[in-house]
Amino acid sequence: MALEVCVKAAVGAPDVLGDCPFSQRVLLTLEEKSVPHKIHLINISDKPKWFLNISPQGKVPVLKIDDKWVSDSDVIVGILEEKYPEPSLKTPPQFASVGSNIFGTFVTFLKSKDSNDVSEKALLNELEALENHLKTHDGPFIAGERVSAVDLSLAPKLYHLEVALGHFKSWSVPGSLSHVHNYMKALFSLDSFEKTKTEEKYVIAGWAPKTNRLRYSSTLVYLTSGYSSEASTPKEGSIVKEVRSPFTSTVWIKPITKSIGG
């Protein structure tokens, strides 16, 4: 019988697979292990009651296995490894924490509005540590030739890093980190990754409210819900600030002239 899994739907497109890196990690694990599963897309800005009953904290991913709903991607991936040991995705313990600080430092840098703080440097330090690991061990993956759990956790996070920092900060992983670049290429070209990733525009839409700055794009559907009377429609690609009304779901978009980099 197919397992059931609840994952995030795209922001502004409730019928499309969304941008949650933890949800994608679970889907990647199911794909790599060829475990049949049925996906429920959850609109996290309007969570259905049945979902809140099975996930009281309201978080995705949640997996139904042996008639029980289980939350948290760490726990889910552990259970899947136990129940479906072949092919093994176990990461040797000495490699299990490689890259584990990348996501946190990426989010801090993405949200930072102070161009003089250490958030970029902190992320670079973590990426350099990953470069160093990849340079000194056989690849293309962290534990060698075969993909393992640590890669499936990192892949969606590196995808978010690439897309969101490129969009909001015009930032990319330095070319000097060539092993990291090759590693990302190897991850992003896995069939399982292709099958479970969301489109870049939904990654951007997912991060936009958290960065409070975005580039205006008419493809971001949730931006079209209203403009303040004094602001004219921004030019496609211009830098804008999102202002949410505390009382209604209206979102105003104000063009700003300051550089997006800071």
Ligand X SMILES: N[C@@H](CCC(=O)N[C@@H](CS)C(=O)NCC(=O)O)C(=O)O
Task: Write down the least CB distance from residue 176 to ligand X, Å.
Answer: 31
Give the bridge partners for 62, in sequence order: 6, 71
Task: Write down the least CB distance from residue 115 to ligand X, Å.
Answer: 27
Task: Write down the least CB distance from residue 180 to ligand X, Å.
Answer: 23
Q: Which of 205, 95, 229 is nearest to 149 (CA)?
A: 95
Our CB check for ligand X shows the closer of 72 and 128 to be 72
Task: Write down the least CB distance from residue 71 to ligand X, Å.
Answer: 6
Q: Which of 77, 130, 75, 74 is nearest to 102 (CA)?
A: 130
> Which residue ranges make up the site for ligand X (CB under 6 A)?
8, 20, 22, 44, 58-61, 72-74
**Cβ atoms of residues 255 and 238 within 8 Å:** yes
Longest dimension (CA), the chain: 60
Our CB check for ligand X shows the closer of 71 and 105 to be 71
Our CB check for ligand X shows the closer of 8 and 167 to be 8
Our CB check for ligand X shows the closer of 24 and 112 to be 24
Task: Write down the least CB distance from residue 9 to ligand X, Å.
Answer: 11
Q: Which residue is nearest to ligand X (CB)?
A: 20
**Cβ atoms of residues 32 and 87 within 8 Å:** yes
Our CB check for ligand X shows the closer of 134 and 208 to be 208
Residue 87: asked if its preceding bond is cis (omega within 30°), the reply is yes
Task: Write down the least CB distance from residue 154 to ligand X, Å.
Answer: 13
Our CB check for ligand X shows the closer of 45 and 115 to be 45
Structure tokens at 35: 């475990």
Please give the DSSP secondary-structure letter assigned to residue 61.
-
- Write the burial class of residue 57 (CB in 10 Å: 0-12 exposed, 13-18 middle, 19+ buried): exposed
Calculate the alpha carbon distances from 262 to 45, 112, 129 in Å.
29, 8, 25
Query: Which residue of the set 5, 7, 20, 253 is catalytic?
Result: 20
20 is catalytic: yes
Structure tokens at 33: 């292990």
Helix/strand/coil (H/E/C) assignment for every residue in 80-144: HHHHCCCCCCCCCHHHCCCCCCHHHHHHHHHHCCCCCCCHHHHHHHHHHHHHHHHHHCCCCECCE
Catalytic residues: 20
